[in-house]
Structure 1
Amino acid sequence: MNSRIFLLSFSFITLTALTAFAPADHNFRSYKKRPAKKAYRLTKKTNPYYIVISKKDYELNVYDEEGWYATYPIVFGSKDLSDKMREGDRRTPNGSFKIVLKKIHNKWGPELLLDYPNDESYRRFKERKEKGLIPATAKIGDGIAIHATRPEEEWTVDNFYNWTDGCISLKYTEMKDLYSYITVGTNVTINP
């Protein structure tokens, strides 16, 4: 078999295998944004945006005072999309959070750090320990963020490939857009 046919066959098989894990309505995904009607002048007191993440839909939606503003396709850490139980389970936590830090990460660029664990996260964690759902020695974990893929790995989002340690990941190019207008203090709700 010549190398060109082998490479094409291998590429097709790899793409077929990766898309087998995608939801039935899978297609190559990119973000949608409402045309701008008015420019916001952001101050520390004014933040018109809030974020709602839907795990089941693999979407991050941004809303403002006028309603829906933008939708970005995303991926997570684990195929198990249930609530984060403890450190190391690679799950993304459910609940209400705030963005507490914007920074540029050395591997995947733009990053919005969430205030996980917050008081509600600690309450659920303690309750689960008391019920014996997690080991008494388990730790809650931290460092959950909304961040980009590496520039050459945007395909992970197109193929619903959950690769993080529990964070929410957007395509590199689309995360640069989100990062440009989301501020520290923005509310983030993560739904199952």
Structure 2
Amino acid sequence: MLLRCCLYAFWLLAFGFIPSASASSQSKVDLVVVNKSESRMSVYRDGKIIKTYAIAMGDMPTGHKLTEGDQRTPQGRYILDYKKSDSAFYKSIHISYPNDEDKLRAKALGISPGGMIMIHGENPRSTLSPEEAQKFNWTNGCIAVTNKEMDELWQLIDEGTPIEIWP
């Protein structure tokens, strides 16, 4: 009888009728790292790279974002703090820029640090294929991937996941 119950429970778990807590927590990433100089974004779980994506950034990718409209992608450590399913660029995940340091720097310089920096999908107005568009920096400082990749990231990233953006 015990063996029959164990086999039944195994069958239910194997065919998805009982959610596996370890499977759902294992599928999420715990860190996102952007390397601006390589135009790459990698997602990590337990210190290991799960996948790397080619990215597009702002027209001026070198250097840290200082002010609204400078076409730069920020550098530093932030949080992916919310998801937006109805983005103008397919879907997006918000980056917590500006952080306190960014705000302090902007205040000292008498400028606005800007905001609304996201990881997002494709430009719906582009005439280029998704793969071709990724070869150009076209955003206003955001990090762009293809819509297919955005769907993957949407499943892999939970709100609250840290992101490090390196030069």
Q: Which residue of 2 aligns with 1:163?
A: 138
Q: Which residue of 2 aligns with 1:6?
A: none
Please list every run of 5 or more consecutive structure 2 residues that lacks an aligned counterpart in the other structure: 1-21
How far residue 66 of structure 1 moved from its aligned partner, in angstroms, is: 5.0
Structure 1 residues 30-179: aligned runs within 5 Å: 40-42=23-25, 48-65=29-46, 67-127=48-108, 129=109, 136=110, 138-150=111-123, 153=128, 154=130, 155-157=132-134, 159=135, 161-179=136-154
Number of aligned pairs?
142
Distance 1:40 1:66, change over 3 A: farther
Indicate which of 147, 152, 161 corresponds to 1:186: 161
Give 1 or 2 for the bigger CA radius of gyration.
2
How far residue 175 of structure 1 moved from its aligned partner, in angstroms, is: 1.2
Q: 2:102 is paired with a residue of what secondary structure?
A: helix
Q: Which residue of 2 aligns with 1:133?
A: none
How far residue 47 of structure 1 moved from its aligned partner, in angstroms, is: 5.6
Identity %: 31
Higher deviation after alignment, 91-100 or 73-82: 73-82
Please list every run of 5 or more consecutive structure 1 residues that lacks an aligned counterpart in the other structure: 1-38, 130-135
How far residue 123 of structure 1 moved from its aligned partner, in angstroms, is: 2.9
Residue pair 1:77, 1:163 contacting (<8 A) in 2 also: yes
Cα distance in 2 for residues equivalent to 1:74 and 1:65 = 23
Q: Deviation per CA, 1:33-86, whole angstroms, max 9, x where unpaired? A: xxxxxx64239xx96421000000000001111511110000101234211010
Q: Deviation per CA, 1:141-176, whole angstroms, max 9, x where unpaired? A: 11001001136641210x2x1111110001111111
Cα distance in 1 for residues equivalent to 2:43 and 2:29 = 10
Residue pair 1:90, 1:164 contacting (<8 A) in 2 also: yes
Higher deviation after alignment, 161-170 or 116-125: 116-125
Residue pair 1:150, 1:172 contacting (<8 A) in 2 also: no
C-alpha RMSD over aligned residues: 2.2
